[in-house]
């Protein structure tokens, strides 16, 4: 993909090195799935904290002393491989109760069934990733890379809240799955409502903070020219708050094993994002992109809620 995309040598090298790092991260994700199944979220937290602190430190030092992003990306490879081998693999063996060294066994029927079950979820995650970037494609095309950089930078503070929501969703998924499989609808709904309430509270808090102090925050984090886009910053916060609730509903669909139903949900979401951005970005610029995201996440949440209602009516029928 890098070869056919026409990137320069430096950019291509960075992308390929990050791809190698992502390979190690993907194996860690599988280990985290094992821990999630055993509800050992403390181990996942430990792995992610090590990864975050060491990655930030290594990349910052490497780029600071060498001024070369390729060296920083190599630092990511080193850190993520180290965490996988020294922490993740060791604790995976302990949680599994494996005393002997881990051995890979290729069981084609099992892996084939798992791949078929997970295939829709894989396509959905690709659509999720694509959907996030759709507004940026329109911004770059209509407004240029400078405005794209400002928009992307303003979106990054929202990652903090997304991390909290991800932790909530991943922690609750095994319990939601148990409630759904055993037909405990009242417990399922109770936990779901608690999660939605927490997600709404996190999103509302972010919106209020940015509504009251958006300009000072942008001045503190970035350069003065960023502070000219307070409206877009606030609309981004609103879109993100809606996205927090939609994300919880996505985890809930996973818990109910409604993987295939998510495919049309995110196809529709991506189509709404593209249509809204095509209409709004040329007219309203960065606020238009944020509005497009808000419309899309609202659509995603509404349709996801409909899928969950259907799941509850059908009990254990997938």
Distance CA 121, CA 53 (A): 30
* pLDDT band at residue 169 using 50, 70 and 90 as cut-offs: confident
> Tens digits of per-residue pLDDT, 255-307?
888 888 888 998 999 999 999 999 999 999 999 999 999 999 999 999 999 99
Inter-residue contact 288 to 281 (CB < 8 Å)? yes
Residues 6+ apart with CB under 8 A from 218: 154, 226, 227, 229, 230, 233
Q: How much of the chain, in percent, has pLDDT values that exceed 90?
A: 52
DSSP string, the chain: -HHHHT--HHHHHHHHHHHHHHHHHHHHHHHHHHHHHTT-HHHHHHHHHHHHHHHHHHHHHHHHHH--HHHHHHHHHHHHHHHIIIIIHHHHHHHHT--SPP-----HHHHHHHHHHHHHHHHHHHHHHHHHHHHHHHHHHHH-HHHHHHHHHHHGGGHHHHHHHHHHHHHHHHHHHHHHHTT-HHHHHHHHHHHHHHHHHHHHHHHHHHHHHHHHHHHHHS-GGGGGGHHHHHHHHHHHHHHHHHHHHHHHHHHTT--TTHHHHHHHHHHHHHHHHHHHHHHHHHHHHHHHHHHHHHHHHHHHHHHHHHHHHTTT--
* Least reliable range by pLDDT among 29-33, 155-159, 309-313: 155-159
Quick one: pLDDT at residue 263?
A: 87
> Tens digits of per-residue pLDDT, 16-69?
999 999 999 999 999 998 888 887 888 888 898 899 999 999 999 999 999 999
> Tens digits of per-residue pLDDT, 62-94?
999 999 999 999 999 999 999 999 999 888 888
Distance CA 223, CA 268 (A): 36
Instruction: Please say if the pLDDT value at position 318 is more than 50.
Output: no
Distance CA 86, CA 47 (A): 10
Dihedral sign for Cα 240, 242, 245, 247, please. negative
Inter-residue contact 122 to 64 (CB < 8 Å)? no
Quick one: pLDDT at residue 257?
A: 85
Quick one: pLDDT at residue 102?
A: 60
Q: What size, in residues, is the chain?
A: 318
Quick one: pLDDT at residue 101?
A: 60
* pLDDT band at residue 8 using 50, 70 and 90 as cut-offs: confident
> Tens digits of per-residue pLDDT, 192-237?
999 999 999 999 999 999 999 989 998 888 888 888 899 999 999 9
């Amino acid at each position: 993909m890098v070869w056919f995309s026409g990137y320069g040598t430096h950019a291509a090298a960075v992308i390929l090195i990050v791809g190698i790092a992502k390979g190690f991260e993907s194996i860690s994700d599988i280990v985290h799935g094992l821990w999630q199944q055993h509800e050992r979220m403390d181990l996942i937290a430990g792995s992610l904290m090590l990864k975050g602190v060491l990655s930030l430190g290594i990349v910052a030092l490497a780029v600071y002393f060498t001024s070369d992003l390729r060296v920083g990306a190599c630092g990511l490879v080193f850190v993520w491989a180290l965490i996988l081998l020294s922490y993740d693999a060791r604790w995976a063996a302990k949680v599994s109760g494996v005393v002997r060294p881990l051995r890979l066994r290729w069981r084609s029927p099992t892996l084939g069934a798992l791949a078929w079950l997970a295939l829709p979820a894989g396509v959905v995650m690709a659509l999720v990733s694509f959907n996030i970037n759709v507004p940026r494609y329109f911004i770059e095309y209509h407004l240029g890379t400078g405005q794209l950089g400002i928009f992307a930078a303003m979106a990054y503070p929202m990652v903090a809240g997304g991390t909290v929501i991800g932790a909530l969703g991943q922690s609750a998924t095994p319990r939601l799955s148990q409630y759904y499989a055993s037909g405990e609808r009242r417990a399922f709904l109770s936990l779901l409502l608690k999660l939605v309430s927490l997600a709404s509270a996190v999103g509302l808090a972010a919106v209020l903070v940015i509504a009251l102090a958006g300009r000072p925050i942008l001045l503190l984090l970035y350069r003065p020219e960023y502070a000219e886009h307070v409206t877009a910053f606030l609309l981004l916060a609103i879109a993100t708050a809606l996205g927090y609730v939609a994300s919880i509903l996505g985890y809930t669909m996973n818990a109910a094993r409604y993987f295939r139903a998510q495919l049309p949900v995110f196809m529709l979401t991506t189509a709404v994002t593209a249509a809204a951005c095509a209409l709004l970005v040329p007219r309203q610029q960065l606020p238009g992109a944020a509005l497009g995201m808000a419309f899309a996440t609202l659509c995603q949440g509404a349709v996801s809620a409909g899928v969950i209602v259907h799941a509850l009516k059908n009990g254990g029928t997938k």
